[in-house]
């Protein structure tokens, strides 16, 4: 009998009981707004900021409404404005160039390698085109950050890290988000901690974070922040910085705090499932796995592989065969953007030059969610199905261009 996968690729684990109890306490208090505290009470949002900053070794942290808002706030705090060019990955998701467009910036796309990281040679060639790099650690793949920072530092280019897919991850022992001037994280449902929507912003520069706090909509209540710069930092900034409200509320913060404490355990569970898939797909004809360097301490909430140089009809055949057996795969090579999946030539508000080498890679990128509701046995089954269908198409038809 042909095996079929019965699981759901969008079903996350439940919120921990501790988070549910904390959320109920917030709702019973009626004090959902982060600044609505009584006496010496410390809000859930302020406690989350302290705890997240400590977890990554940052001086300051700001809890906000989304990962996209974290990125726009970081760019505004760095002075990015209308017409400014901002370097970013060609392989990313739409909120990244969308954040650049939201502050009036112009994305300058940098290529992707077969290892699904930013092409550092292409970056080196384009560093004279912008003063800021919004670096996306897309789908949890981290490039050689030592080399990237050396290139950017030498060119005077500020790095802002999009860590939506790398919370809890690191390169060479340094946490993701701690290399650049700002680190931006997401707590959207499909990320490593889940509040439905939300974001976190970290940094070490007091003036940067004071501007970010004012931008987020603190009014003159910035003294209620704890993972924040000294009050005197705000003395002039409070008069110069617009309020662009995007705060996180106490309800979401309450849900997130116990998840953050459990992140290390959850990361190990994700990576165990990833390794089952990786082992099961090894030596599949026509399928290229993505290498994970020794210096990369990743957290795998998704899985990617390449059907490199396959023609579109053959890739579509694999996707259809897998879907018929319950396996949902996303493809970055499709002619039209679908769901969460799009690529740099889909974002017509951000015109770009053709990048043939990157187009070749993107045409072969296959992407799959890896929720923790999947067991190791589920992952082994997924690998068997994908391996069988890729092998059948590869061996049965002419798949290359």
What integer pLDDT is reported at residue 39 of this predicted model?
A: 87
Last residue of a domain, one of 261, 294, 315: 261
Last residue of a domain, one of 261, 278, 300: 261
pLDDT at 342 over 70: yes
Q: pLDDT (tens digit, 9 = 90+) per residue, 125-160?
A: 999 999 999 999 999 999 999 999 999 999 999 999
The answer to whether residue 3 is domain-embedded is no
- CATH code, 328: 3.90.1150.10
Query: According to DSSP H, which parts of 177-262 are helical?
Result: 206-216, 234-240, 250-261
Whole-number average pLDDT of the chain: 96
Q: Could you give the CA distance from residue 159 to residue 45 in angstroms, rounded to a whole number?
A: 26
Encoded tokens for 354? 């053709």
Check whether residue 112 and residue 59 sit in a common domain.
Answer: yes
In sequence order, the β-bridge partners of residue 161 are 135, 183
CB atoms within 10 A of CB 271: 18
Check whether residue 172 and residue 280 sit in a common domain.
Answer: no
Q: Which residue has the higher pLDDT, 397 or 214?
A: 214
What integer pLDDT is reported at residue 278 of this predicted model?
A: 98
CB atoms within 10 A of CB 239: 8
Q: Could you give the CA distance from residue 82 to residue 315 in angstroms, rounded to a whole number?
A: 40
Q: pLDDT (tens digit, 9 = 90+) per residue, 14-73?
A: 999 999 999 999 999 999 999 999 888 999 999 999 999 999 999 999 999 999 999 999
- Would strands 158-162 and 106-110 be described as parallel, antiparallel, or unpaired? unpaired
Last residue of a domain, one of 261, 281, 299: 261
What integer pLDDT is reported at residue 337 of this predicted model?
A: 83
pLDDT at 366 over 80: yes
pTM confidence score = 0.96
What integer pLDDT is reported at residue 300 of this predicted model?
A: 95
The answer to whether residue 369 is domain-embedded is yes
- Would strands 132-136 and 158-162 be described as parallel, antiparallel, or unpaired? parallel
Q: Could you give the CA distance from residue 213 to residue 11 in angstroms, rounded to a whole number?
A: 34
Question: Measuring CA to CA, which residue among 368, 359, 216, 200 is closest to residue 290?
Answer: 368
Check whether residue 137 and residue 285 sit in a common domain.
Answer: no
pLDDT at 401 over 60: no
CB atoms within 10 A of CB 310: 26
pLDDT band at 333 (very low <50, low <70, confident <90, very high): confident
């Amino acid at each position: 009998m042909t095996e079929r996968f019965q699981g759901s690729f969008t079903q996350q684990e439940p919120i921990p009981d501790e988070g549910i109890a904390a959320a109920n306490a917030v709702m019973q208090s009626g004090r959902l707004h982060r600044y609505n505290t009584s006496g010496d009470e410390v809000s859930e949002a302020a406690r989350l900021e302290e705890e997240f900053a400590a977890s990554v070794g940052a001086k300051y942290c700001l809890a906000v409404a989304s990962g996209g808002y974290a990125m726009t706030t970081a760019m505004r705090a760095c002075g990015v404005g209308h017409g400014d060019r901002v370097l970013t990955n060609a392989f990313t998701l739409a909120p990244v160039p969308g954040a650049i467009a939201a502050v009036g910036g112009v994305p300058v796309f940098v290529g992707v390698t077969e290892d699904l990281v930013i092409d550092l040679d292409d970056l080196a060639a384009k560093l004279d085109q912008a003063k800021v790099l919004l670096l996306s650690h897309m789908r949890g793949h981290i490039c050689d950050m030592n080399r990237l920072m050396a290139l950017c530092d030498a060119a005077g280019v500020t790095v802002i890290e999009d860590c939506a897919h790398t919370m809890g991850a690191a390169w060479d022992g340094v946490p993701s988000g701690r290399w650049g001037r700002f680190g931006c994280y997401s707590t959207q449902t499909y990320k490593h901690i889940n509040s439905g929507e939300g974001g976190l912003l970290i940094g070490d520069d007091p003036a940067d974070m004071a501007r970010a706090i004012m931008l987020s909509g603190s009014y003159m209540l910035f003294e209620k922040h704890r993972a924040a710069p000294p009050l005197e930092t705000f003395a002039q900034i409070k008069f110069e910085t617009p309020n662009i409200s995007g705060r996180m509320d106490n309800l979401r913060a309450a849900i997130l705090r116990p998840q953050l404490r459990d992140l290390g355990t959850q990361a190990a569970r994700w990576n165990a499932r990833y390794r089952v898939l990786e082992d099961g797909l090894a030596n599949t004809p026509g399928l290229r796995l993505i290498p994970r360097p020794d210096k990369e301490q990743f957290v795998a909430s998704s899985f990617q592989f390449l059907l490199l140089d396959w023609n579109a009809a053959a890739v579509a055949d694999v996707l259809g065969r897998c879907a018929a057996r319950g396996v949902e795969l996303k493809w970055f090579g499709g002619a039209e953007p679908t769901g969460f999946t799009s690529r740099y030539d889909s974002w017509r508000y951000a015109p770009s030059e053709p990048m043939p080498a990157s187009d070749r890679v993107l045409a072969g990128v296959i992407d799959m969610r890896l929720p923790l509701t999947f067991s190791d046995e589920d992952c082994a089954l997924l690998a068997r199905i994908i391996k069988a269908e890729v092998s059948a198409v590869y061996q049965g038809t002419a798949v290359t261009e």
